[in-house]
């Protein structure tokens, strides 16, 4: 099996102004420093709102922090008459490593379909930004037992026409919609079932060595108390954390999941 470095990414969603963002990242950095966190063993990233990115960049650069940061969305276009959109060129200038693409909240409230998600993934890669592709099923699909085909159809659509050298770098986050912000965490076996199927599909779309190198995350009500059991699954390589990433100490604990296995 490839040596995949786990990634713990905090999706702040629409929370924290730019002053609060600086404090939160500072606190996170202190908590991880206190714990002597090894960032080469577990990568840590935050995805703040656009308006915070310049402040986070300034702090990360000034204090030489090992914390990575990214955006929560990106335009499929580089520039032009797209009111309210943020270009990948602007994000690249802000030093972002990652961008979330196709989060279920974008799909639901902004009607993003597979074609848009696919275009945004290509737009990010064209400017050296690694997309975190979010996929996952709603409750109806889960009740019908269709979570795997549903999620794989999203993966197929999102990756259409993506060259292997880009697919090899992508991060895919499996986030069952019914587990987001509900406290209803999928069981480790639920997470493994779909994360494993995503990796197998990557093997079919590309090849097995490529699939073996791609990081597949789980997201949905991840906390320090449940992260270790989820991370123990063979095809789960990290977590996309919403609510719990707004608490620096809690998020640092999540990043240090190996210390509290069984907690």
Ligand X SMILES: O=C(CO)COP(=O)(O)O
Helices 188-205 + 147-159 axis angle, to 10: 40
Q: Tell me which stretch binds ligand X (CB under 6 A): 23-31, 61-69, 83-91, 217-225.
A: 217-225
Phi and psi at residue 49, to the nearest 5°: -60, 155
Q: Using the rule CB under 6 A, which residue among 70, 131, 238, 243 binds ligand X?
A: 243
What's the number of CA atoms in the CB half-sphere (13 Å) around residue 38?
7
Catalytic positions are: 103, 175
Q: What is the closest distance, in whole angstroms, from the C-beta atom of residue 181 to ligand X in the complex? A: 4
Residue 222 interacts with ligand X (CB under 6 A): yes or no: yes
Q: How far is the C-alpha of 172 from the C-alpha of 130, rounded, in Å? A: 10
Q: Tell me which stretch binds ligand X (CB under 6 A): 17-25, 38-46, 227-235, 242-250.
A: 242-250
Q: What is the closest distance, in whole angstroms, from the C-beta atom of residue 134 to ligand X in the complex? A: 7
Q: What is the closest distance, in whole angstroms, from the C-beta atom of residue 78 to ligand X in the complex? A: 26
Residue 242 interacts with ligand X (CB under 6 A): yes or no: yes
What DSSP element (H or E) covers 98?
strand 98-101
Residue 219 interacts with ligand X (CB under 6 A): yes or no: yes
Lookup: tokens for 29: 């950095």
Q: How far is the C-alpha of 11 from the C-alpha of 16, rounded, in Å? A: 11
Contacts with ligand X, residue ranges (CB under 6 A):
11, 103, 175, 180-181, 219-222, 240-244
């Amino acid at each position: 099996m490839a040596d995949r470095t786990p990634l713990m990414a905090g999706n702040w969603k629409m929370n924290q102004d730019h002053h609060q963002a600086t404090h939160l990242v500072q606190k996170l950095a202190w908590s991880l420093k206190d714990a002597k966190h090894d960032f080469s063993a577990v990568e840590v990233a935050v995805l703040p709102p656009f308006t915070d990115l310049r402040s986070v960049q300034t702090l990360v650069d000034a204090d030489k922090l090992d914390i990575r940061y990214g955006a929560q969305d990106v335009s499929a276009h580089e520039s032009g008459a797209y009111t309210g959109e943020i270009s990948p060129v602007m994000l690249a200038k802000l030093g972002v490593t990652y961008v979330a693409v196709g989060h279920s909240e974008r799909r639901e409230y902004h009607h993003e379909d597979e074609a848009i998600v696919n275009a945004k993934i290509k737009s990010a890669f064209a400017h050296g930004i690694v997309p975190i592709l979010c996929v996952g099923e709603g409750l109806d699909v889960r009740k019908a037992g269709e979570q795997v085909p549903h999620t794989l159809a999203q993966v197929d659509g999102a990756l259409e026409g993506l060259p292997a050298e880009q697919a090899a770098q992508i991060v895919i986050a499996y986030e069952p919609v019914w587990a987001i912000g509900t406290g209803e965490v999928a069981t480790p076996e639920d997470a493994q079932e779909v994360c494993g199927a995503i990796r197998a599909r990557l093997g079919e779309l590309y090849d097995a060595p490529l699939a073996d190198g791609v990081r597949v995350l789980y997201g949905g009500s991840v906390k320090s108390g449940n992260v270790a059991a989820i991370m123990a699954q063979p095809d789960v390589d990290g977590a996309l954390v919403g609510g719990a990433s707004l608490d620096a100490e809690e998020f640092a604990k999540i990043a240090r999941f190996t210390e509290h296995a069984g907690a």
